[in-house]
Amino acid sequence: MKPKILLTGKTGQLGSELNQLLPKLGEVIAPKRNELDLREPEKIRQVMRNASPQLVVNAAAYTAVDAAETDQASALAVNAEAPRLLALEAKKIGAMLVHFSTDYIFDGSKKAPYVETDPTNPLNAYGRSKLTGEEAIRNSGAAHLIFRTSWVYATHGRNFLLTILRLATEQEELRIVDDQVGAPTCASDVAAATAKIVAILAGTKGSVHFPEGSETYHMTAAGQTTWYEFAKAILEEAARAPQDLPWLRAATNGRPLIASRVLPISTEEFKSPARRPAYSILSNARLMQTFSVSLSDWRNQLQRCFSH
Ligand SMILES: NC(=O)c1ccc[n+]([C@@H]2O[C@H](COP(=O)([O-])OP(=O)(O)OC[C@H]3O[C@@H](n4cnc5c(N)ncnc54)[C@H](OP(=O)(O)O)[C@@H]3O)[C@@H](O)[C@H]2O)c1
């Protein structure tokens, strides 16, 4: 029998991709924010009890990294308290919770890819709220999987890809941070990897053994880059892409890209309210070893975005 899956955040970058893939694997109940506001504990309990799912996929989050510095209460409510309640309700009904977290739980002082067991030390309020959410899920006793991803973008939503394309229609010169290293990851690749794992969990594709205590996995694009190199790659791909791509036309408002220079700057020169890790490459080895799932290189993912 197909499992009942409760999906949160279906309007988000990742949630909207999952909302397309998960119906192949189960009966998906995907409430809108006005049907399930994660800042309302009683609503969470009510929706969980009414839906009574076998699987909960929590793609909702408070993702405004800079705004979280001054709105910590909202970040904590959505990123920490809501996952805690989802996990507690999941435990009561024997459901599994699939949750997403971030590279920003690390401080970036490491010089080699972070593994799941590395010590955490978030530099900003968003990272702290996500880490508190992870810990609450682990402490709940619910069956769960936590997938940490990074630098997520899509052809919709609010993200670096769409910001660069818009800025490139407005400014001839872009100044972009070149001393933060990470792995830009396309939401559709995270959704596809998650759906493969859900298929395994739902028993439709083989089986898997989770060693006790290893419920956290890194799930990012392969390779590494900086925001500056990522911006240059975006403009290269945009110049080559068919100009009638609907999402590209929407991103540029149909205007030509006039940016002819991209200059590298330091984090110091780009003032932002939240501190960000200088290095946040995550090793995906455990994901591969456990589920035989891997994501392609970041540049490859970006190229694919510009092909349709
Ligand atoms: N974006 C990144 O760069 C990044 C990097 C690393 C990890 N992650 C993690 O990846 C996951 C998916 O992120 P994303 O980029 O897809 O996020 P997103 O595009 O910002 O989408 C967030 C989703 O959460 C919903 N949401 C926010 N507050 C809510 C509330 N109070 N009640 C109910 N729903 C609420 C939003 O609904 P509305 O549309 O109504 O606002 C939206 O559907 C998150 O766990 C995030 O922390 C993201």
58 confidence band (pLDDT: 50, 70, 90): very high
DSSP 97-110: EEEEEEGGGS-S--
Cβ neighbours of residue 77 under 8 Å, at least 6 residues apart?
38, 39, 62
Separation of CA 190 and ligand 1 centre (Å)? 13
Separation of CA 63 and ligand 1 centre (Å)? 5
Ligand 1 pocket: which of 6, 8, 10, 14 to mutate (most atoms <8 Å of CB)?
14
For the chain, the 3-state helix, strand and coil shares in percent, each to the nearest 5, are: 45, 15, 40
pLDDT at 268: 92
The Cα-based distances of 21 to 32, 108, 203 in angstroms read 17, 33, 16
Ligand 1 pocket: which of 6, 8, 10, 13 to mutate (most atoms <8 Å of CB)?
13
pLDDT at 203: 73
The Cα-based distances of 299 to 181, 226, 239, 262 in angstroms read 14, 12, 15, 18
pLDDT at 211: 58
User: Could you tell me what percent of the chain has a pLDDT over 70?
Assistant: 96
Radius of gyration of the chain (CA): 19
Q: Which atom of ligand 1 is nearest to the CA of 63?
A: 20
Please, what is the average pLDDT of the chain? 95
> Per residue in 123-136, pLDDT tens?
999 999 999 999 99
Token duo for residue 88: 């507690």
Kindly report the backbone phi and psi dihedral angles of residue 289, in degrees, each rounded to the nearest multiple of 5, phi listed first.
-65, -40
Separation of CA 100 and ligand 1 centre (Å)? 10
Burial of 196 from C-beta contacts in 10 A (0-12 / 13-18 / 19+): middle
Q: Which atom of ligand 1 is nearest to the CA of 148?
A: 7
pLDDT at 205: 60
- Specify the pTM: 0.96
Name the residue with tokens 């459901």: 95
Is residue 78's pLDDT more than 90? yes
Given the DSSP bridges, would you call strands 225-226 and 152-153 parallel, antiparallel or unpaired? unpaired
82 confidence band (pLDDT: 50, 70, 90): very high
The Cα-based distances of 213 to 39, 137, 153 in angstroms read 29, 12, 30
What CA–CA distance (Å, rounded) separates 154 from 47? 28
Specify the DSSP class assigned to residue 89.
Answer: H
Cβ neighbours of residue 62 under 8 Å, at least 6 residues apart?
68, 74, 75, 77, 78, 79, 126, 129
Separation of CA 64 and ligand 1 centre (Å)? 9
200 confidence band (pLDDT: 50, 70, 90): confident
Q: Which atom of ligand 1 is nearest to the CA of 78?
A: 31
Residue nearest to ligand 1 atom 17, measured at CA: 12
Q: Which atom of ligand 1 is nearest to the CA of 39?
A: 31
Active centre residues (catalytic) = 126
Q: Which atom of ligand 1 is nearest to the CA of 158?
A: 19
Residues lining ligand 1, CB < 6 A? 9, 11-15, 33, 36-39, 59-63, 78, 100, 102, 130, 149-152, 157, 187
Separation of CA 76 and ligand 1 centre (Å)? 13
User: Could you tell me what percent of the chain has a pLDDT over 90?
Assistant: 92
Out of 104-108, 142-146, 207-211, pick the least confident: 207-211
Is residue 52's pLDDT more than 90? yes
> Per residue in 203-216, pLDDT tens?
766 555 555 667 99
DSSP alpha helix (H) spans, the chain: 13-21, 41-51, 72-76, 82-93, 125-140, 160-170, 187-201, 227-240, 246-252, 285-291, 298-305
Token duo for residue 28: 């998906």
Contact 195, 147 (CB under 8 A): no
Is residue 177's pLDDT more than 60? yes
> Per residue in 220-263, pLDDT tens?
999 999 999 999 999 999 999 988 899 999 999 999 999 999 99
What CA–CA distance (Å, rounded) separates 102 from 195? 19
Separation of CA 261 and ligand 1 centre (Å)? 32
